[in-house]
């Protein structure tokens, strides 16, 4: 956990990151997942940013351990739920985190079924 926190904190493209156990409704399995919010400069190429973040995460984990990596900028509807369960392990840009939270809070359009993603399906790691 310390190595992962250090690695993510040292990655300038990452504004903030959470580590939580997440599951898909109806599938029952929980997976350790790193949710990252990228700084705007990193969004020029999501594929390159995802590859970089995945490499940083993989290098920080012990052999044989794996986690899912989700770029929150591509799924901002998950931000409030991820924040609600905690698991913040890196915050390189507190102002960007606050901007993201403010934008998520101001979005009135919740999709039907979104409420199913809360509760027992989101736990801090």
pLDDT tens digits, one per residue of 32-55? 899 999 988 877 777 888 888 999
What are the domain boundaries of the chain? 2-107+119-124
Find out whether 78 and 8 touch, Cβ atoms under 8 Å. Answer: no
How do residues 52-86 score in pLDDT, each as one tens digit?
899 999 999 988 888 999 999 888 889 999 999 98
Longest dimension (CA), the chain: 43
CATH T-level fold of 2-107+119-124:
GMP Synthetase; Chain A, domain 3 (3.30.300)
If phi > 0 it is left, if psi is from -120 to 50 it is alpha, else beta; for residue 103 that is: alpha
Q: Is the pTM of this model over 0.85?
A: no
């Amino acid at each position: 956990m310390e190595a992962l926190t250090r690695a993510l904190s040292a990655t300038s493209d990452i504004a903030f990151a959470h580590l939580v156990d997440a599951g898909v409704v109806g599938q029952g399995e929980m997976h350790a997942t790193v949710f990252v919010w990228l700084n705007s400069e990193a969004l020029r190429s999501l594929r390159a940013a995802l590859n970089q973040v995945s490499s940083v995460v993989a290098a920080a984990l012990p052999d044989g351990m794996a986690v899912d990596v989700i770029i929150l900028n591509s799924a901002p509807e998950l931000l409030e739920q991820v924040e609600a369960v905690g698991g913040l392990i890196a915050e390189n840009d507190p102002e960007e985190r606050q901007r993201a939270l403010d934008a998520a809070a101001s979005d009135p359009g919740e999709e039907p079924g979104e409420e199913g993603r809360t509760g027992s399906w989101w736990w801090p790691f």
